[in-house]
Amino acid sequence: MTAHFQNIGIISKSADPSVAETLATLLSFLEQRGIPALLDESAAASVPNPTAPVVSREELAARCDLAIAVGGDGTLLNAARSLADAGVPLLGINRGRLGFLADVLPADMTGCLDRVLAGEYQEEERTLLHAEVLRNGECLHRSDALNDVVVHKYDIARMIELETHIDGRFLNTQRSDGLVMATPTGSTAYALSGGGPILHPTLSAIVLVPICPHTLTNRPIVINDHATIEVILHGGSTTEAQVTCDGQVKFPLDRGDRVRVCRKEKTIRLLHPPGHDHYEVLREKLRWG
């Protein structure tokens, strides 16, 4: 039987010995079925003397028709940002702690992959955000995020002051520790810790969640994901803040900087085992009754 996917890229948590055994099992599985594998540099670092080609993330995205991320949700977030533009579907093997996104357990990996390779899987399109930092009209930094874009203070005890606009319309000025702008995927991450709602992954929405606001009536708000959000950093010369994407890509902000956030045109294709149930995942991970 011909496999549904012909070239598979493998991405893993960087410099983590806990993924080595899972990677070895995965590579052996693919070799036995005659399916070529490509390793990115992070995966190759955990495989002694790899026989599979080691390529850059860009080349992996261009050459594979399925990518497998071995690690936690952070590994999958990192992989998603680099694969979305190429339209490569992504499957997560959970070697982390929570596993909202990387939902295949190592013990179930080979059985699950047999079904995926036979074309038996569920596919979801997940929205990403695109963020730009503007200073005096010039774009200094841009990045994507599958979970969230966060403007927040760092290394200081005092609050920061943010002015938020949606589609050019003034929303509010807030003094807080920051602001989380999250996709439905990211609604169960930092936004949830800040008291935000859980959004179903299929919703076309962005949730804005203030972090420890000075005014307690400043509550989370959900908007259409076709909107453009602009956050302006106010404050004096001692203001220290930064913008982060998925908690992994960081850029320092100066007073007067504008962080512009909108929905990314491309989506990421997430694959799940047959029978995947979003509500079951919520019950398990959040320990609901």
Q: Which active-site residues does the annotation give?
A: 73
Q: Are strands 8-12 and 66-71 parallel, antiparallel or unpaired?
A: parallel
In the sheet that holds 122-126, the strands lie side by side as 37-39, 8-12, 66-71, 90-94, 268-272, 122-126
| Residue spans of beta strands (DSSP E) within 146-236 | 148-153, 160-166, 169-176, 178-182, 205-211, 221-224, 229-234
Q: Are strands 241-245 and 229-234 parallel, antiparallel or unpaired?
A: unpaired
Cα 162–chain centre separation: 24
**Spatial distance between the Cα atoms of 225 and 246, rounded to a whole number of angstroms:** 17
Residues contacting 245, CB < 8 A, separation 6+: 81, 129, 131, 143, 144, 145, 148, 149
**Spatial distance between the Cα atoms of 289 and 286, rounded to a whole number of angstroms:** 9
**Closest C-alpha to 270, from 207, 202, 198, 193:** 202
